[in-house]
Amino acid sequence: MKKIVSLILFVLVSTFAFGQYETIKKTARPSIPGTFMVDLGVNQAIKAPSTWDQGWWGSRTVNVYYQYSMRFGRSKFSLNPGIGLSLERWKFVNGATLMDTVELDSYPDGPASFDQVEQYNLLSPQRIYPSLADKSMLVANYIEIPIDFRFDTKPEDIARSFNVALGGRIGYLYDSFRKVKFEDKGETVKDKYKSPLGLNRLRYGIYARIGVGSITLFSFYNLSNMFEKGKGPLGADFNTITYGISVNGF
């Protein structure tokens, strides 16, 4: 009898402990409402100076957003505000580099000796590059707030639904720098210079998405100028467009 009672107690305690473990295991994985989205796209300048010679794949963007969906009743339409980061890259393929005109003027021989280097009207001077840049890149990172109206053919089954979204984004530049790689006296030199580089701190634009389930195509048109007035390449004012593919999880 003692053995039977002991066995029953052991089973009950084990069952209770296992149930507690299952409860803890389940509650340790909270269900987060909303959607995480990743955009992979390429950038293109619109009406930039002819000397703005960018690489296609090297000029790319990665966006990471969280959006919360608010369905309008039982309709197929929803409002989706969010927040996230936009990490933007611009690669120049003509050996050009972003330089303040003051940098060139400070060189003893004057700006004329830099025929191979693009002269940009930017902000703080840093240094003179002694030769044509092998690799040159502009990096601009933004914190952004997107919001869009979305239509789903099957709101009860989003994973298999055809969807279309139209919306806008506003972003703030929190980090920017230029990266340059060049040869100096037979040695390879890599240089990174952090600066606003004349970029607009605040930007805004419109975007559209179309796709099925978690895969969509997107396009973002920047309504604001990329650079502050008069501080872009050769003093030009221009904006940009980004297009690519999005992946989101439900």
Q: In this predicted structure, what is the pLDDT of residue 129?
A: 55
Q: In this predicted structure, what is the pLDDT of residue 106?
A: 53
Mean pLDDT in runs of 10 for the chain (250 residues)? Answer: 46 48 45 85 91 87 95 93 96 76 52 41 42 79 97 89 96 92 77 84 97 95 91 83 90
Tokens representing 68 are 């919360």
| Residue 166, strand partner residues | 149, 208
For residue 239, which of 193, 188, 192, 200 has the smallest C-alpha distance?
200
For residue 241, which of 88, 102, 116 has the smallest C-alpha distance?
88
Q: In this predicted structure, what is the pLDDT of residue 133?
A: 64
Q: In this predicted structure, what is the pLDDT of residue 164?
A: 97
How many Å apart are CA 58 and CA 55, to the nearest integer? 5
Q: In this predicted structure, what is the pLDDT of residue 2?
A: 47
**What is the amino acid identity at position 224?**
S
How many Å apart are CA 146 and CA 34, to the nearest integer? 14
Pairing of strands 135-152, 202-212: unpaired
| Residue 82, strand partner residues | 67
**What is the amino acid identity at position 25?**
K
For residue 67, which of 36, 39, 30, 40 has the smallest C-alpha distance?
36
Pairing of strands 215-222, 60-67: unpaired
Q: Where are the beta strands (DSSP E) in 18-110?
A: 35-46, 60-67, 70-71, 77-92
| Residue 232, strand partner residues | none
Q: In this predicted structure, what is the pLDDT of residue 126?
A: 40
